[in-house]
């Protein structure tokens, strides 16, 4: 993929994250959360977390993909500046880490939807 395409995706994922991460955080704030926890502590109880996975699994899946891409691509940029000669290794590690962590996160969501 061209570097300019990746940078465009970096901005687009950033815009998506403002909305998705905003929702993900509001989920935890009592009084604002659509999952209606009674307190900040309560917002991480098993029932509330499970309801989040059941009802907003697609938000979590999109958030996972956008956040992983944005974070790992950002790290890729820092590493490329640090060691320009190692760009092949850096790009390979970026792709491998993105796929592995995305698969692991999606597995958690899939297990909730199945059970």
Partner 1 sequence: MASEERGRGRLLHNMPGLLQASLNPWLVRVRNNPERLAFVLHRVTGVIILAYLVAHIFVTSATVDEALWESVMGALSGPLSRVGEWIVAGAVIFHGLNGIRLILVEFLGLGVGRPERPKPPYVPPSLRSGQRKGLYLVFALSLAGWALAGVIMFAG
Contact residues toward partner 1 (CB under 8 A) are 11, 14-15, 17-18, 21, 25, 29-30, 39-40, 44, 46, 49-50, 53, 64, 67-68, 71-72, 74-75, 78, 81-82, 84-85, 101, 104-105, 107-108, 111-112, 115
How far, in Å, CA of 12 to CA of 27, rounded? 23
CB of 1 to partner 1, least distance (A): 19
**Could you give the count of Cα atoms lying within 13 Å of 75 in the half-sphere of its Cβ?**
13
CB of 96 to partner 1, least distance (A): 14
Contact 60, 23 (CB under 8 A): no
């Amino acid at each position: 993929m061209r570097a300019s395409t990746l940078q465009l995706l970096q901005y687009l994922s950033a815009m998506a994250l403002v909305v998705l991460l905003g929702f993900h955080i509001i989920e935890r704030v009592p009084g604002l959360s659509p999952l209606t926890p009674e307190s900040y502590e309560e917002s991480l109880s098993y029932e509330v977390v499970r309801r989040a996975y059941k009802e907003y699994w697609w938000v979590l899946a999109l958030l996972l993909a956008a956040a992983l891409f944005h974070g790992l691509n950002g790290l890729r940029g820092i590493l490329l500046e640090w060691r320009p000669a190692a760009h092949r290794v850096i790009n390979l590690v970026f792709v491998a880490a993105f796929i592995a962590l995305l698969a692991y996160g999606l597995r958690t969501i899939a297990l909730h939807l199945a059970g």
